[in-house]
Chains A and B, each alone.
Chain A
């Protein structure tokens, strides 16, 4: 059974970098079928997909256009985890952040989610 465990700070100052990590158990970040996603949720904007990383003989990333200039999602194969970095945050980035797995082609739905991390952007 796949489980995702998130970690990272719940408070980030404006203009700084938001960093979260998602530990994977029961699957591999290097899976040739799954993809590893970050999604956030706020009352004003609902659920927003931010991006994903996946391995298909080499590493790929896809990012949402509205964060593309500020986001990096990296796999860490030694720790079987993946991370989110969001630069130059503003209060608009305050949200609950989730990591989630999708099963790749033919299974492009989020069948496993992390527990969520409330990140507040404030000084």
Chain B
């Protein structure tokens, strides 16, 4: 199975700060990497598809980059509503797998 490792596990940030989350795959997955946001007691929601494509309705402060084994989710000018856990997910090879999550807390 492809293992996805996110870093960091936790970030405590102030509003308007820039946040960068990385996801490293155990083998090359091309651009088959997607990012989700999960707020407490809610289902995950899609933010970025295929490494860098924004999903419909997602604020422009969210962006993604990368290919192969190294990927990045960037949140520019963090807002209070962005407090959540962020997950990466690969769909290159079955079984689909997820990163362990990165929790972003607002100071």
* Chain A residues in the interface with B (C-beta under 8 A): 37, 46-49, 62, 64-65, 98, 102, 107-111, 113-116
Contacts and interface: CB of A to CB of B under 8 A. Distances in A.
Contacts, number: 47
Most chain B beta-carbon contacts within 10 A, residue among A46, A47, A113: A47
Nearest to A4: B43
Label chain A's interface by main secondary structure.
Answer: strand
A64 B95 contact: yes
Contacts of B45: 113
Interface stretch (B17-25, B66-74, B76-84, B96-104): B96-104
A49 B98 contact: yes
A78 to B, nearest CB: 26
Given A47-B89, A110-B36, A111-B55, 13 more contacts: A37-B96, A46-B98, A47-B98, A49-B96, A49-B98, A62-B94, A98-B43, A108-B96, A109-B50, A109-B91, A111-B46, A113-B45, A116-B43
B46 A49 contact: no
A64 to B, nearest CB: 5
Contact of B32 (A37, A64, A65, A108): A108
A92 B62 CA distance: 35
Given A46-B101, A62-B94, A113 B49 contact: no
Interface of B: 32, 34, 36, 43-46, 49-50, 55, 87, 89, 91, 94-101
B44 A110 contact: yes
Nearest to B44: A113
A108 B96 CA distance: 10
B55 A114 contact: no
27 contacts: A37-B96, A46-B87, A46-B98, A46-B99, A46-B100, A46-B101, A47-B44, A47-B87, A48-B98, A49-B95, A49-B97, A62-B94, A108-B32, A108-B96, A109-B34, A109-B46, A109-B49, A109-B50, A110-B34, A110-B44, A110-B89, A111-B46, A111-B55, A113-B43, A113-B44, A113-B45, A116-B43
Contacts of A62: 94-95
